[in-house]
Amino acid sequence: MNIILIDLSQSISKNLGIKTIGLAPKVGEWIELNHEKTSAIYEILTIVHRTDNTPEVYIRYLGQLPDLLKQRFQAGQSFSLEQWDQCFN
């Protein structure tokens, strides 16, 4: 599926062009985009379904995945980072 990505992270929005993804995006989901040897996580803010069947997906930058996971699953929460590690190790 082709989508048009528009980054709203800055005061002036930036069209990131057409990207191909495997699944239809949903508001609130995170997507990973590669930027010069690193990858960044963006949150999907809204989707505009255009008449030409190429949706515009408005996103905002969240950060790097490891940092985001540490923030979300800190010790003391119901699902800790240690439990997350056990799921994959």
Residue 86 has pLDDT above 70, yes or no: no
Q: How far is CA 18 from CA 21, 61, 84, 89, in A?
A: 10, 17, 33, 35
pLDDT tens by residue, 53-78? 899 999 999 988 878 877 776 655 55
| pTM listed for this prediction | 0.74
Please write the tens of the pLDDT for every residue from 15-30.
999 999 888 899 999 8
> Which structure tokens are listed for 75?
């010790």
Residue 72: per-residue pLDDT: 72
Q: Which of these, 55, 52, 53, 1, lies nearest to 27 by C-alpha position? A: 55
